[in-house]
A and B are shown apart, each in its own frame.
Chain A
Amino acid sequence: MFSYVIKRLLLMIPTFFGIVVVTFAVVHLAPGDPAELKAQSAREAIASDQATQQIVAETRALYGLDKPLVVQFGLWMKRVVTLDFGTSFRDHRPVIDKIGDALPITLTLNVLTILIVYLVSIPLGVYTALKPRGVADRAATVGLLVLYSLPSFWVAMMLIVAFGGGGDWFNWFPITGFVSDHADLLPWYGWVANVAWHLVLPVACLTYGGFAFLSRFARTAMLEVIRQDYVRTARAKGLSEWCVVTKHALRNALIPMLTLMGTLLPALLGGSVIVEQIFAIPGMGRLGFESVLARDYPVIMAIATISAVLTLLSILITDILYAVVDPRVTFGKR
Chain B
Amino acid sequence: MMPSQTYSAIVWRQFRKSRLATVSLLFVVVLACVAIMAPLIANDRPLIMRDAQGFAAPALHLPARLRGVDMQLFTQNPPPGVWLIMPPIPYRPGSYDLGAVLVSPSRAHLLGTDGDGRDVASQIVWGTRISLSVGLIAVGLAVFIGLILGALAGFYGGWIDIVISRFVEVMLCFPTFFLILVVLAFVGPSIYNIMIVIGITSWTGTARLIRAEFLRLRSREFVLAATVSGARHLRIMRRHLLPNAIAPILVAAPFGVAGAILVEASLSFLGFGVPPTEPSWGSMLAQAQRFMDIAWWLTLAPGFAIFATIMAYNLIGETLRDAIDPNLKT
Contacts and interface: CB of A to CB of B under 8 A. Distances in A.
A303 B299 CA distance: 32
B188 A288 contact: no
A36 to B, nearest CB: 10
Nearest to B177: A273
B181 A273 contact: yes
A161 B291 CA distance: 11
Contact of B288 (A14, A149, A157, A277): A157
Interface string A20-47: 0110001001110000000010011000
Nearest to A314: B173
B186 A29 contact: yes
A277 B177 contact: no
Contact of A266 (B173, B265, B318): B173
A308 interface: yes
Contact of B293 (A22, A154, A168, A312): A168
A304 B185 CA distance: 14
A66 B38 CA distance: 50
A160 interface: yes
Contact of A157 (B173, B188, B299): B299
Interface of A: 14-15, 18-19, 21-22, 26, 29-31, 40, 43-44, 141-142, 145-146, 148-151, 153-154, 157-158, 160-161, 166-168, 263, 266-267, 269-271, 273-274, 277, 285, 288-289, 292-293, 295, 300, 303-304, 307-309, 311-312, 315
Interface of B: 20, 166-167, 169-179, 181-183, 185-188, 258, 262, 265-266, 269-270, 285, 288-289, 292-293, 296, 299, 303, 306-307, 310-311, 314-315, 318
B130 to A, nearest CB: 15
B318 A145 contact: yes
Given A22-B174, A149-B314, 16 more contacts: A15-B169, A22-B170, A29-B187, A149-B310, A157-B288, A161-B292, A166-B292, A266-B174, A270-B174, A274-B177, A292-B182, A292-B185, A295-B185, A304-B178, A308-B173, A312-B169
Contacts of B181: 273, 288-289, 292
Contacts of A269: 175
21 contacts: A18-B167, A30-B186, A44-B188, A145-B318, A149-B258, A149-B310, A154-B307, A161-B296, A161-B299, A167-B292, A263-B172, A266-B174, A269-B175, A270-B174, A270-B177, A292-B185, A293-B185, A300-B182, A304-B175, A311-B172, A315-B173
Contacts of A166: 292-293
B299 A154 contact: yes
A266 B307 contact: no
Contact of B311 (A146, A288, A300): A146
A15 B170 contact: yes
Given A18-B167, A31-B186, A300-B182, A151 B262 contact: yes
